Amino acid sequence: MALAYSYACRDCEGMETCPASVTAATKEELWKLTELHAEIAHGEIPADWDPETRAYLETLVREVRV
């Protein structure tokens, strides 16, 4: 069993119908995958996310055992 980080897009306000979720061993990788998903699926520009947005997303990250 190892610790990993997971983000489910549907947990994000306004994204309830999005089926995507990402899991990674490090938060650094998780952010990259989350940013890539947001860009591809939602047309977001992660580089423009302000600290409040990142802080909100951070609260949605779950620690999981894999």
Contact footprint for Zn ion (CB under 5 A) = 9, 18, 20, 41
Kindly tell me which of 43 and 51 has the beta carbon lying closer to Zn ion.
43
CA–CA–CA angle 6, 10, 16 (5° rounding): 175
Distance CA 46, CA 1 (A): 31
Kindly tell me which of 3 and 36 has the beta carbon lying closer to Zn ion.
36
Number of H helices, E strands in the chain: 2, 3
Residue 4 CB, shortest distance to Zn ion, in Å, is: 19
Residue 1 CB, shortest distance to Zn ion, in Å, is: 28
